């Protein structure tokens, strides 16, 4: 990671890598959604409503993976003072919050025909809602730190502490009685029928690639913004 400590070196890699992540991601998303809508059977229990998982599951995965990225970046900022760590965490926060919101919205839509309610205060749903609010809090803290022009340690500490919610989300269906179904995909295999699974693999990979492209674009934008601000500051002091 220290190889990318130089912003110029990072940008030389990020610029060409962004479209190589973004466009294949969009293609895989479209292929997965089309396949899930038109080329898979309906579930024997949930019927047509099961098709929302092709967006819901990747959104849940990226909401949690996004905060994991913030936690790692925050640790790098606190321990190694990596010059791009805070930039990476800020870049992850907004798309992470977006995918967490998509997860909550699609889960609510999916829950209405499946559970008979739009919302239930069970472990998985509540901990995911907490994650969304953590994202909002981090965005506010990091934005305030950026406005002060400081290497804000408060938002980095918040990013590390907030990671405690990730295992709560993951294990909530095992720790508490919940309406939410248990883990369907794990290291031991999948409980989802292969006829329904393949579009999910496409959309999960596609959304992950798109997430990476968005983070790189945001990092580039934040670095450009910092460069302009620094130049204006120098001009003002002359």
Residues 154-172 have pLDDT tens digits of 999 999 999 999 999 988 8
pLDDT confidence of 6, banded at 50, 70, 90?
confident
Q: Which residues of 32-41 are buried (b: 16+ CB within 10 A; e: fewer)?
A: bbebbeeebe
pLDDT confidence of 137, banded at 50, 70, 90?
very high
**Alpha-carbon span 179 to 114, nearest angstrom:** 10
Residue 185 backbone dihedrals phi, psi, to 5 degrees? -130, 130
In this predicted structure, what is the pLDDT of residue 234? 63
Per the confidence metrics, is the pTM higher than 0.75?
yes
**Mean pLDDT value across residues 8-37:** 95
**Mean pLDDT value across residues 30-42:** 94
Assess whether pLDDT exceeds 70 at residue 141: yes
In this predicted structure, what is the pLDDT of residue 186? 61
Higher pLDDT, 179 or 121: 121
Assess whether pLDDT exceeds 90 at residue 69: yes
pLDDT confidence of 2, banded at 50, 70, 90?
low
**Mean pLDDT value across residues 192-218:** 94
**Alpha-carbon span 174 to 171, nearest angstrom:** 5
């Amino acid at each position: 990671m220290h190889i990318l400590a130089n912003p110029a070196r990072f940008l030389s890699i990020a610029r060409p890598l962004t479209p190589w992540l973004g466009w294949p991601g969009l293609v895989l998303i479209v292929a997965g959604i089309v396949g899930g809508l038109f080329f898979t059977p309906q579930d024997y229990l949930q019927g047509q409503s099961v098709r929302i998982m092709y967006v819901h599951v990747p959104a849940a995965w990226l909401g949690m993976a996004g905060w994991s990225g913030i936690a790692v970046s925050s640790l790098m900022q606190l321990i190694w003072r990596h010059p791009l760590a805070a930039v990476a965490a800020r870049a992850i926060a907004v798309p992470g919050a977006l995918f967490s919101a998509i997860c909550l919205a699609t889960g609510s839509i999916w829950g209405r025909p499946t559970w008979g309610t739009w919302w239930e205060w069970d472990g998985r749903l509540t901990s995911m809602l907490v994650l969304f609010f953590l994202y909002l809090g981090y965005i506010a803290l990091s934005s305030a730190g950026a406005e002060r022009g400081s290497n804000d340690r408060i938002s980095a500490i918040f990013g590390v502490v907030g990671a405690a919610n990730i295992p709560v989300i993951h294990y909530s269906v095992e720790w508490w009685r919940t309406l939410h179904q248990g883990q369907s995909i794990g290291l031991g295999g999948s409980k989802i029928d292969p006829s329904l699974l393949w579009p999910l693999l496409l959309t999960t990979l596609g959304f992950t690639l798109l997430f990476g492209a968005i983070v790189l674009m945001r990092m580039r934008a934040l670095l450009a913004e910092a460069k302009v601000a620094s130049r204006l500051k120098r001009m003002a002091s002359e």
